[in-house]
A and B are shown apart, each in its own frame.
Chain A
Amino acid sequence: MAEPAYTVASDSENTGEEKSSSSPSLPEIAVGIDIGTSQCSIAVWNGSQVHILRNTRNQKLIKSFVTFKDEVPAGGVSNQLSHEQEMLTGAAIFNMKRLIGRVDTDPVVHASKNLPFFVQTLDIGVRPFIAALVNNAWRSTTPEEVLAIFLVELRLMAETQLKRAVRNVVLTVPVSFSRFQLTRMERACAMAGLHVLRLMPEPTAIALLYAQQQQMTTHENMGSGSERLAVIFNIGAGYCDVAVTATAGGVSQIKSLAGNAIGGEDILQNTMRYIAPPNKEASGLLRVATQDAIHRLSSQENVQIEVDLGDGDMVSKVLDRLEFEEVNEKVFQECERLVVQCLRDARVESGDIDDVIMVGGCSCIPKVRAILKNVCKKDEIYKDVNPLEAAVRGAALEGAVTSGIHDPFGSLDLLTIQATALAVGVRANGNKFVPVIPRNTMVPARKDLFFTTVHDDQKEALIVVCEGEGETVEENHLLGFFKIVGIPPSQKGVPEINVCMDIDASNALRVFAAVLMPGSKSPVVPVVEVRMPTVDDGHGWCAQALNVKYGSTLDLITLQRKM
């Protein structure tokens, strides 16, 4: 078997310019890719239904990792591992999705230091140092590069099977990803020669699949436009996501989203810490044994764990389900909190819920199922989706819909109305974060707020754009900043500074700022338009640096409405 050439495009920031669409005459059907923390899948609309592609070993689910042991790095698509332990020698990089776009002060990065490959943090808010063990030397890489190598393999696999070039993709992403992390995903795709049509929060991909199923079942009794409310819960290895969706007539309207970076990896590490002898927590053998035990605990009340860790260290333990649930109590509590928050944000009563859909590798854990049944007051979980395939199927549907494909049988008369997972806003009123577009606003969206100056004759104002849910600027992700200049001399509180934010269907955020004076019909200085995010790694410093440099001299406060 000939080794494919792994070419990765230059690591350039100018991905926007490459994103021109392909030939307009014949629309290329975008493929759907579900990039999971531990495994991946790829699917495409084949003209009548969604088809999940298989790798050379006939697998639909492909392990997400890249090994650096040979001259050329090889990913999980083509690479054959003799044993799972080979992944744990330090030569393979995995869990890229947990690391991408995170800085070295992030607890999720710190939790990855137990992994067999090298994760070094200097705790100053910059990109962590990540390396794989090659011939007893650490070869440095980045999560984007690892992801790009993996995506190139996926692309080549798809191109071979579909017998055409694959360029346009719809990618699923965790709900909790910040815009900064999303740009990293896009960059990895660009490096792999892929053009991202949509980055879909995972549960919204499932919502689209559900909308199609509902559309099909209600087709017989035409015109029954009754709306169905579904709670979608996804928990994989790295992330937990929740969505509430209202579905009618093939339209899935996302009412609320919630998510956090918790998942199977946390459950695995908690359990390993619990059963491991001191200083042996990072053992690869133990990792494999624990993972296996957790899987078996989904169907058994207790499991026997026997591992020989070498050096006379033996693990021999019976782990029962209650113990396991105790050890991971905080993970399960967070799952519950996310569901409750999502229902609250959607303004939904548990009695109104028609279906509870559970997907992802950890959705079969009995405790997680019990939580969902309890919170949603449902005895049954929706059965018509495959928990491991639903996301990629939804992404493939979205790929077909956004590529403008029509289906004569109406299977593609679908639409997802997305919502924002995190609020976007500006720094104002001291160091407060003032949302301009709140969380769970339907997209595309455009909203504006008025601000004014805090000093007499203030000629300039700093617009600091953030994303998140925190009260203060520091608690949120900094997306970028710019200065408006040329505010006419006037008393404080007089100039009207309008900040408008626009999110388009592909989730691109643009921020506009204009200065108006009372009575004037048009802005007194040219309007500023900035695409966000504009900051790169180490952005934590920027907010601090701005504080040091300008203090409150360029501050804004929200303009009180004259009622």
Chain B
Amino acid sequence: MKSYKGSSILATDFYIRPISSLPTSFPSTTLSYPTRNRFLSTRIQARLIHDDPVKQSEDLSFYDLLGVTESVTLPEIKQAYKQLARKYHPDVSPPDRVEEYTDRFIRVQEAYETLSDPRRRVLYDRDLSMGFSFSFSGRRRNRFDEEVVEEKSEWKKKWQTQLSGLKRRSNQKENSNSMSWAARMRRQHHHMSDDDSSS
């Protein structure tokens, strides 16, 4: 793993990026924590460079982030994402720009996660048409949407049925000795979530 000599960054290094005109007004501020070692210096460096991906990406829509139009198809989204990954992923980015590229990569990922899910894309498009073009607004509601979406999905239902069938089968002969602790815990966890959904 990389050197962490610079990771004990002084608390004064953080800064606050105010986000105005968000549809869901909470939280009113978002925090920016130090990204990587040499955080401050790169930020300053980045500002001196004309084409600053970090700064730009803050006000881009998900479509802008992926460099596609709003009429883009799913295969095109996947392709765009993989191409951008080849550029911004820390494994392949130029060593002197790893930190800012990683920031950009995380944003591209958020864009991809939302736009590659048809239901989430619909919700995002709705926000976008109402004038909330910030990628950040999409990010804020990701989790909430995810829960709604997951309940309806066919793929989930299908595998869920199979999983509970498997569980039933193995419970019939249950003596949990040979199962690892984690397996038992996961099983317990699944039972709990089963109960929740049936109620």
Number of residues on chain A facing chain B (CB within 8 A):
88
Determine if A337 and B86 form an interchain contact, defined as CB atoms under 8 angstroms apart.
no
Which stretch, A104-112, A293-301, A303-311, A455-463, touches the partner chain B?
A: A104-112
Which residues from chain A sit less than 8 Å from chain B, CB to CB?
16-17, 19-21, 105-108, 111, 176, 186, 196-198, 225-227, 246, 248-251, 253, 260-262, 266, 270, 329-331, 333-334, 336-337, 340-341, 343-344, 347-349, 375, 401-402, 404, 413, 415-417, 442, 444-446, 448, 450, 468-471, 475, 496, 498, 500, 502, 504-508, 510, 512, 514, 516, 518-523, 526-527, 529, 531, 561-563
Separation of A337 and B167 alpha carbons in the complex (Å): 8
Separation of A331 and B170 alpha carbons in the complex (Å): 10
Determine if A502 and B33 form an interchain contact, defined as CB atoms under 8 angstroms apart.
yes
8 Å CB interface, B1-37 against A: 1-5, 7-9, 11-12, 14, 16, 18, 24-29, 31, 33-36
Determine if B90 and A504 form an interchain contact, defined as CB atoms under 8 angstroms apart.
yes
Known: A251-B86, A337-B167. 8 other contacts (CB 8 A): A251-B85, A404-B95, A415-B91, A504-B102, A514-B14, A521-B18, A526-B12, A527-B14
Determine if B185 and A470 form an interchain contact, defined as CB atoms under 8 angstroms apart.
yes
Determine if A471 and B31 form an interchain contact, defined as CB atoms under 8 angstroms apart.
no
Interface of A is mostly: mixed
Residues of B within 8 A of A442 (CB): 109, 113
Separation of A471 and B191 alpha carbons in the complex (Å): 11
> Contact check: which of B11, B25, B85 meets A415 at CB < 8 Å?
B85
Determine if B82 and A471 form an interchain contact, defined as CB atoms under 8 angstroms apart.
no
Separation of A380 and B29 alpha carbons in the complex (Å): 53
- Say how far A445's CB is from chain B's closest CB, in angstroms: 7
- A sample of 18 cross-chain residue pairs with beta-carbon separation below 8 angstroms, ordered by A number, consists of A16-B1, A16-B4, A17-B5, A197-B1, A227-B75, A260-B180, A333-B169, A334-B183, A337-B166, A347-B153, A417-B89, A444-B106, A470-B189, A475-B189, A500-B33, A521-B18, A527-B14, A529-B7
Residues of A within 8 A of B162 (CB): 340, 375
8 Å CB interface, B77-125 against A: 78-79, 82-83, 85-86, 89-92, 95, 102, 105-106, 109, 113
Determine if B189 and A471 form an interchain contact, defined as CB atoms under 8 angstroms apart.
yes
> Closest residue of chain A to B103, judged by CB?
A446
Asked whether any CB of chain A lies closer than 8 Å to the CB of B41, the reply is no
> Closest residue of chain A to B17, judged by CB?
A521
Given A500-B31, A500-B33, A505-B89, also A106-B183 (CB < 8 A): no
> Contact check: which of A107, A186, A402, A510 meets B180 at CB < 8 Å?
A107
> Contact check: which of A249, A260, A563 meets B82 at CB < 8 Å?
A249
Which residues from chain B sit less than 8 Å from chain A, CB to CB?
1-5, 7-9, 11-12, 14, 16, 18, 24-29, 31, 33-36, 75, 78-79, 82-83, 85-86, 89-92, 95, 102, 105-106, 109, 113, 144, 153, 155-156, 158-160, 162-163, 166-167, 169-170, 173, 177-183, 185-186, 188-189, 192
Given A522-B16, A529-B34, also A248-B82 (CB < 8 A): yes
Residues of A within 8 A of B189 (CB): 469-471, 475
Determine if B78 and A227 form an interchain contact, defined as CB atoms under 8 angstroms apart.
yes
Determine if B181 and A253 form an interchain contact, defined as CB atoms under 8 angstroms apart.
no
> Contact check: which of B1, B9, B16, B159 meets A343 at CB < 8 Å?
B159
Separation of A518 and B29 alpha carbons in the complex (Å): 9
Separation of A330 and B178 alpha carbons in the complex (Å): 8
Minimum-distance CB pairs A-B, first 3 = A344-B159, A526-B11, A506-B1
Interface centre among A21, A251, A512, A522 (most CB of B within 10 A): A251
Determine if A176 and B95 form an interchain contact, defined as CB atoms under 8 angstroms apart.
no
Determine if A523 and B183 form an interchain contact, defined as CB atoms under 8 angstroms apart.
no
